[in-house]
């Protein structure tokens, strides 16, 4: 999933990166000037989005700041203090100052990632409260929430004003504190999580062509009961619920951003019958597609679709 389609050649200042970046494409970065000169409790230095090339690798022995990296898609390996952690869609990895670390992407399935680099007198306390200093790399409990918050940080970082730093730091706090109770690790032998990621990635990339949980199971070559257990364990939802949520969010986005009629939108979301589509949409957003189009804020759904 691409959140930024930008071939920007901007680079993060050398004082923040502290080394040569790995090979990337479709990148976009932001940074805040003069942060280190201020006596701040918490401050974001820089951040960005990267789509890694197949030979991406970055390794440093001394890096003076804190960092979190969210894997949007693809696979890779994060090495910290000589221990390897596999990275997948939905994994959040992190490290503190002055520890040796290394990121390497999978050449067949390169990573797509968002990173945030931060510092300040409260950074260590916040980092420890998140337990990322102990867990190092986790599968986030709510990928949709984490990615949406990271998008907000990027959007604010690219369009800065006098309140941007404070706003972004509040978003960062919410991401870090959300991880305090995450228990899903990223050990290489976590076979069930690997299977879940395989199914989830396939679902997110092909949901408009999928009509049922059984079809998802067939496409992923897994038993439907096994898939149901995986989604209950890691997503806390049934596979069909996730499927319909993806379809309805796509439809809601099209209602706001296009002039297509309801029947056309239903088909683009992967639902052939427009009457059935309207019933599903109202169940999800508590308003009809037509009313949503003219006033989406009337929706009572707690998670508005990303535009």
**pLDDT number for residue 304:** 42
What is the CB neighbour count within 10 angstroms for residue 90? 27
> What distance lies between CA 4 and its chain's CA centroid?
12
How far is 146 from 176, CA to CA, in rounded Å? Answer: 9
**Residue 129 pLDDT > 80, yes or no?**
yes
Give yes or no for residue 126 having a pLDDT over 90.
yes
Is pLDDT above 90 for 263?
A: yes
Report the alpha-carbon distance of residue 305 to residue 246 in Å, rounded: 9
pLDDT tens track for 180-229: 776 555 544 467 777 888 888 889 889 999 999 999 999 988 899 999 99
Residue 42 has pLDDT above 50, yes or no: yes
Task: Indicate whether 88 pLDDT > 90.
Answer: no
pLDDT in tens, 244-261: 999 999 999 999 989 999
Q: Closest Cα partner for 88 from 34, 143, 40?
A: 143
- Other CB atoms within 10 A of residue 195 CB: 17
Altogether, the residues listed in the chain come to a count of: 307
Task: Evaluate if residue 1 carries a pLDDT over 50.
Answer: no
Q: What are the chain's domains?
A: 14-181 (2.60.120.280), 191-298 (1.10.10.60)
For 60-74, how does the pLDDT look when each residue is reduced to its tens digit (9 = 90+)? Answer: 888 899 999 999 888
Output the six-digit token pair for 100.
Answer: 């040796």
DSSP string, 50-79: EEE-TT-EEEES---SEEEEEEEES-EEEE
CB 209 within 8 A of CB 170: no
């Amino acid at each position: 999933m691409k959140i930024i389609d930008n071939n920007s050649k901007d680079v993060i200042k050398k004082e923040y990166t502290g080394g040569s970046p790995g090979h990337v494409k479709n990148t976009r970065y932001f940074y805040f000037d003069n942060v280190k000169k201020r006596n701040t409790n918490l401050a974001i230095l820089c951040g960005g989005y990267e789509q890694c090339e197949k030979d991406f690798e970055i390794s440093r022995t001394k890096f003076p700041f804190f960092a979190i990296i969210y894997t949007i898609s693809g696979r890779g390996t994060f090495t910290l203090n000589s221990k390897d952690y596999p990275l997948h869609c939905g994994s959040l990895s992190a490290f503190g100052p002055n520890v040796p670390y290394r990121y390497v992407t999978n050449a067949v399935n390169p990573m797509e990632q968002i990173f945030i680099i931060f510092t300040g007198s409260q950074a260590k306390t916040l980092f420890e409260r998140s337990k990322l200093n102990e867990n190092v790399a986790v599968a986030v409990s709510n990928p949709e929430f984490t990615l949406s918050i990271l998008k907000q940080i990027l959007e604010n970082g690219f369009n800065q004003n006098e309140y941007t730093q404070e706003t972004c730091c509040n978003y960062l706090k919410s991401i870090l504190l959300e991880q305090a109770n995450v228990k899903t690790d990223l050990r290489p032998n976590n076979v069930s999580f690997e299977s879940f990621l395989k199914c989830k990635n396939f679902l997110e990339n092909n949901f408009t062509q999928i009509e049922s949980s059984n079809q998802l199971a067939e496409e992923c070559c897994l038993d439907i009961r096994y898939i149901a257990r995986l989604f209950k364990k890691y997503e806390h939802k049934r596979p069909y619920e996730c499927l319909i949520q993806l379809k309805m969010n796509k439809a809601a986005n099209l209602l706001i951003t296009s002039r297509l009629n309801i029947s056309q939108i239903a088909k683009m979301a992967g639902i052939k019958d427009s009457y059935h589509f309207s019933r599903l949409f109202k169940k999800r957003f508590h308003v009809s597609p037509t009313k949503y189009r003219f006033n989406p804020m009337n929706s009572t759904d707690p998670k508005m679709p990303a535009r």
